[in-house]
């Protein structure tokens, strides 16, 4: 019998080695798998490469991972925010490497990895400093930049409901990067609010089919209101 | 001469958004356009983080941490709105499905180059978000910005001195002094605020402007 639920976040992340590349879902706080990140901090893996849209907000989640000096490099589109002080400090101290990627290119590089695509040409960033040194091509009269996929060892994401086969549905804009990150990692670990019986999720509305999911941890938490 | 304030600028942009349009409003000043869209027009607002049909800000106490816009502000969803993941969201942008993107800017050049993501300062931490995707992807790119910098220099320039967000991508610029179309043969003034002559606008702007027959 397939059962992807594991007993705890600690058990789900126990095998993450130093130097791993980890995708972390979430856009700001929406969809950030905070319980998994807390467990990752406790687990102790170091020299991590992190893929996320941002570089942490406030003092929890990804910001706490950066504050704990576990991150060697981050790939993101929007690191600088009013509450990104842990990243700002580490970046200015040259303790963290930044690869700045336009948001749509970040999403497509992740999607490409999950879909087995070796690279793609995008019009985004053509003629800007974010395309410097990259191969370009004119296709149908338009200029494009060659971009490569981003593969990960692990993806840590948050979903709303899951069944034991790993089928997932999300909640509102907390979905953001999670469905594509789930496809792009060797091992996708999901934090879910609720576990449901097989068959309880309408097959017509399952967003992430279980084939993309390895481990699920149920984290009972009430839905907090935004600040 | 009476400069337009932020709300008047937003209302001026909103007036030009037609029924049925799919629109992305950038963070900051462009977000204000949402509050001025004419009642009775069905206009669908897109937000990069994965929502189409963004509704107004919720009442205090009704905010939901899972329902935010690209500026990470709490929003609501219109009846009929939809959620989707980031690759789909940027397919909408890059795939030329959005009718308009309204973006802020540091500078716009006579060729329609846009600079709005980086001041170029050596110690600045860069952040780009979806700006470069919107610049190349939307069918029409509308820019909202003050006409002049705080020190009185024109933000419409011959060549952008700040790092580019996109080349030759801007279609129209709305400032606190004028509405200006970017065309292959240069900048065409569509509208000027009350009490400002074309000649005075030209003097303040510094790059050549063309006068539309219908402009004051």
* Cross-chain Cβ contact A100/B126 below 8 Å: yes
* Cross-chain Cβ contact B49/A176 below 8 Å: yes
Neighbouring C-beta atoms of residue A222, cutoff 10 Å = 6
**Coil, strand, or helix at residue A119?**
coil
Nearest CB among B86, B123, B132 relative to A176 is that of B86
- pLDDT, tens digit, 9 for 90 and up, residues A80-100: 989 999 999 999 999 999 999
- pLDDT, tens digit, 9 for 90 and up, residues B140-156: 999 999 999 999 999 99
* Cross-chain Cβ contact B129/A124 below 8 Å: no
* B209 has pLDDT over 50: yes
**pLDDT of res. B117:** 95
- pLDDT, tens digit, 9 for 90 and up, residues A156-204: 999 999 999 999 999 999 999 999 999 999 999 999 999 999 999 999 9
Residues 6 or more apart from B121 whose CB is under 8 A from it?
A: none
List of chain B residues whose C-beta atoms are within 8 Å of the C-beta of residue A125: 132
Q: pLDDT band for B214, please (50, 70, 90 cuts).
A: low
Average pLDDT over residues B170-178: 98
- pLDDT, tens digit, 9 for 90 and up, residues B121-130: 888 899 999 9
Q: What is the CA radius of gyration of chain A?
A: 18
Nearest CB among A77, A122, A171 relative to B129 is that of A77
Q: Are strands A48-51 and A71-76 parallel, antiparallel or unpaired?
A: parallel
**pLDDT of res. B216:** 47
**pLDDT of res. B191:** 95
Chain A contact probe: residue of B88, B119, B133 with most A CBs at under 10 A: B133
Neighbouring C-beta atoms of residue A97, cutoff 10 Å = 13
Q: List domains and CATH numbers for chain B.
A: 6-211 (3.40.1080.10)
Size of interface A-B (CB pairs under 8 A): 155
- ipTM for the assembly: 0.95
Nearest CA-CA distance, residue B35 and chain A, Å: 21
List of chain B residues whose C-beta atoms are within 8 Å of the C-beta of residue A82: none
Q: Which residues of B touch A (CB under 8 A)?
A: 47-51, 61, 63-68, 72, 74, 77, 83-87, 89-90, 93-94, 118, 123-133, 136-137, 163-167
Residues 6 or more apart from B113 whose CB is under 8 A from it?
A: B159, B160, B164, B166, B167, B168, B169, B170
**pLDDT of res. B124:** 87
The residue of chain B nearest to residue A224, with distances taken between CA atoms, is: B65
- pLDDT, tens digit, 9 for 90 and up, residues B62-119: 999 999 999 999 999 999 999 999 999 999 999 999 999 999 999 999 999 999 999 8
Direct distance between the N- and C-terminal alpha carbons of chain A, in angstroms, rounded to an integer: 42
What rounded mean pLDDT belongs to chain A?
A: 96
Model confidence, pTM: 0.96
Rama region for A90: left / alpha / beta (φ>0; ψ in -120 to 50; rest)? alpha
* Cross-chain Cβ contact A226/B61 below 8 Å: no
Q: List domains and CATH numbers for chain A.
A: 19-118+150-218 (3.40.1080.10)
């Amino acid at each position: 019998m397939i059962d992807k639920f594991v007993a705890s976040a600690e058990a789900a992340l126990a095998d993450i080695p130093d130097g791993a590349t980890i995708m972390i879902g979430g856009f700001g706080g929406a969809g950030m798998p905070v319980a998994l990140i807390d467990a990752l901090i406790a687990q102790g893996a170091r020299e991590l490469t992190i893929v996320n849209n941002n570089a942490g907000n406030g003092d929890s989640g990804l910001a706490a991972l950066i504050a704990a000096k576990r991150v060697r490099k981050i790939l993101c589109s929007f690191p600088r925010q009013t509450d990104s002080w842990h990243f700002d400090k580490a970046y200015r101290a040259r303790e963290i490497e930044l690869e700045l990627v336009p948001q749509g290119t970040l999403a497509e590089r992740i999607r490409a990895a999950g879909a087995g695509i070796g690279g793609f040409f995008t019009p985004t960033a053509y003629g800007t400093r974010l395309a410097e040194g990259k191969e370009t091509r004119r296709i149908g009269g338009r200029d494009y930049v060659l971009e490569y996929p981003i593969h990960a060892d692990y993806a840590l994401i948050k979903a709303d409901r899951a069944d034991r086969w790993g089928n997932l549905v999300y909640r509102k804009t907390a979905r953001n990067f999670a469905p594509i990150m789930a496809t792009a990692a060797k091992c996708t670990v999901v934090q879910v609010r609720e576990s449901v019986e097989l068959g309880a999720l309408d097959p017509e509305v399952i967003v992430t089919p279980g084939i993309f999911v390895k481990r699920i941890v149920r984290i009972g938490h009430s839905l907090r209101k935004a600040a | 001469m009476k400069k337009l304030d932020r709300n008047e600028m937003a209302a001026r942009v909103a007036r030009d958004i037609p029924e049925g349009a799919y629109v992305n409003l950038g963070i900051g000043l462009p977000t204000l356009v949402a509050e001025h869209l004419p009642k009775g027009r069905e206009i669908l607002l897109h937000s990069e983080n994965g929502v189409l049909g963004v509704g107004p800000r919720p009442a205090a106490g009704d905010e939901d941490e899972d329902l935010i816009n690209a500026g990470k502000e709490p929003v609501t969803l219109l009846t009929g709105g939809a959620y989707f993941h980031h690759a789909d969201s940027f397919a909408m942008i890059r795939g030329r499905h959005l009718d308009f993107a309204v973006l802020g800017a540091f500078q716009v050049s006579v060729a329609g180059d846009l600079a709005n993501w980086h001041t170029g300062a050596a110690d600045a931490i860069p952040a780009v978000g979806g700006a470069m995707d919107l610049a190349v992807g939307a069918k029409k790119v509308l820019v909202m910005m003050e006409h002049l910098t705080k020190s009185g220099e024109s933000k419409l320039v011959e060549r952008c001195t700040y790092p580019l967000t996109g080349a030759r991508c801007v279609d129209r610029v709305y400032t606190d002094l004028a509405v200006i179309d970017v065309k292959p043969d240069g900048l065409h003034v569509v509208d000027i605020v009350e009490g400002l002559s074309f000649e005075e606008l030209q003097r303040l702007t510094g790059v050549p402007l063309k006068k539309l027959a219908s402009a004051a």
